[in-house]
Amino acid sequence: MNPPRMDQPFVIGAIETDIGRVPQVSSSLGWADHWGTIKARSGLNRMHYAVDPGLYALGNPDAGSLALVTANYKLSFDSLRSALPGRDAWILVLDTEGINVWCAAGKGTFSTAELVARIKSSKINQIVSHRKIILPQLGAPGIAAHIVKKLAGFTVHYGPIRTKDLAEYLDRGMAATPVMRLKTFTLSERAVLIPIELVQALKAALVVALVALVISGFGGQGTYVDNVVTYGIFFTIALLGGVFAGAVLTPLLLPYIPGRAFALKGLVLGLITAVVLVFFRNPDMTQWANRLEILAWLLLVPAVAAYLAMNFTGASTYTSLSGVKKEMQWALPLEITAGTAGCLLWLGSRFII
């Protein structure tokens, strides 16, 4: 395993040690780091936002300095170093293939085997005089502390969940308060997850909307363009309404929407959205084509919202696999049926009646 490269943009120098030069980093982030965070959060280059695994020096650490462990996802690395202004520490970065600590721990790359191997390959055991290593608590699903002790001789201390609590944890003599150990899912924590879910959903919605726009011109009584404007545009608006309800409103309003299952929460907001859309559509309900179209919206919009809300389980911080499987048993068939029926009804309203 090669040591981390010195020419990574955030490396500001090198520390000379008994085992060679160790790249040095600062606790203050530069504009390139901030811009990288924005891009990663919006999903533009999330998959390749990694730092080289291995040992780094934060500030000017020595043999007695703390040893902290993180993942090689750049946001994880930046979050850790920026939480410790004015402190010196060794940072051991595990190879998690550019994935954050919690996900990598679940995935098995932030693992006991990787930690033990990285302790040995980085020669951190020759640099520090102590045998303590601090891991983020959310790395625990991938690490067996007692095995690390046995194989590498280091005692694992699980630090706080959030890096913002790390300084206080250290000042308290490596002791966490109960609040530091509790994973929250606050409004701001939910809000930062929206862009990535939304971008993903909009990609699929764009394709569907384009197809609907092209098809919509053929049905109905008017000219092609008239039909696209009357029916195709509204299809697009309704679809976007469903996406908005499931991928934006559901995450934002999560604690206030009735139900525990995410699909149910999405369904509730999707129905409300559909009713609002129908209200503004204000159709002539004496005509069968319009009745079918309205029914289509009442099925399609909630189906889209429920599906996207259900997918938000993956980004949430408190759902279990058993629970997700249980809700999917009823939700997935319902979403597929309602979505398909909605599309067919819409086509029927355009071409049959």
Partner 1 sequence: MTRLRYLKNVTTLAFDEEKCIGCGVCMTVCPQAVFGMNGDKRVQIEDRDACMECGACALNCPTEALTVTAGVGCAAAVINSMLGGGSATGCCCSIEPDETCSGNKRPTCC
Contact status: 104 vs partner 1 (CB under 8 A)? yes
321 contributes a contact to partner 1 by CB under 8 A: yes
Task: Give the nearer residue to partner 1 in terms of CB position, either 93 or 105.
Answer: 105
Instruction: List residues bridging with 133 in a β-sheet.
Output: 156
Residue closest to 241 by CA, chosen among 297, 180, 163? 297
Phi, psi of 233, rounded to the nearest 5 degrees: -65, -40
Choices 86-94, 183-191, 236-244, 288-296 (CB under 8 A): range interacting with partner 1: 183-191
- Contacts with partner 1 in 243-262 (CB under 8 A)? 254-255, 260-262
Q: Which residue shows structure tokens 């997850």?
A: 193
Contact 260, 202 (CB under 8 A): no
Q: What is the CA radius of gyration of the chain?
A: 26
What is the side-by-side strand order in the sheet with 66-71?
A: 13-17, 20-25, 54-58, 89-94, 66-71, 132-135, 155-158
Angstrom distance (rounded) from CA 349 to CA 353: 6
Q: Output 5 or 326, the one with its CB closest to partner 1.
A: 326
Q: Which is nearer to partner 1, 289 or 304 (CB)?
A: 304
- Establish if 165 lies at the interface with partner 1 (CB under 8 A): no
The site that binds partner 1 (CB under 8 A) totals a number of residues, namely: 58
Kindly write out the interface string for residues 118-137 of this chain, putting x where it contacts partner 1 by CB under 8 A and - elsewhere: -------------------x
Identify whether the C-beta of residue 12 lies closer than 8 Å to the C-beta of residue 26: yes
The DSSP 8-state label assigned to residue 134 in this structure reads E
What is the smallest separation between the CB atom of 160 and partner 1, expressed in angstroms? 11
Question: Bridge-partner residues for 158, per DSSP?
Answer: 135
Does 99 participate in binding partner 1 (rule CB under 8 A)? yes
302 Cβ neighbours under 8 A, 6+ residues apart: 242, 266, 267, 270, 271, 273, 274, 338
Token digits for 105? 């721990």
59 or 141, CB closer to partner 1?
A: 141
With CB under 8 A as the contact rule, the residue among 29, 151, 196, 295 that binds partner 1 is: 196
The stretch near partner 1 (CB under 8 A) out of 32-40, 142-150, 230-238, 297-305 is 142-150
Site for partner 1 in 42-61 (CB under 8 A): 43, 47
Q: Which is nearer to partner 1, 22 or 71 (CB)?
A: 71
User: How far apart, in Å, are the Cα atoms of 28 and each of 18, 39, 64, 242, 329?
Assistant: 27, 19, 23, 41, 48
- The least CB distance from residue 217 to partner 1, in Å, is 32
Smallest separation (angstroms) from partner 1 to the CB of 178:
7
Q: Is 327 in the site for partner 1 (CB under 8 A)?
A: yes
In the complex, the residues that contact partner 1 under the rule CB under 8 A are 43, 47, 99-100, 103-108, 111-113, 137-138, 140-146, 158, 161, 176, 178, 181-185, 196-197, 200, 254-255, 260-262, 310-311, 313-328, 332
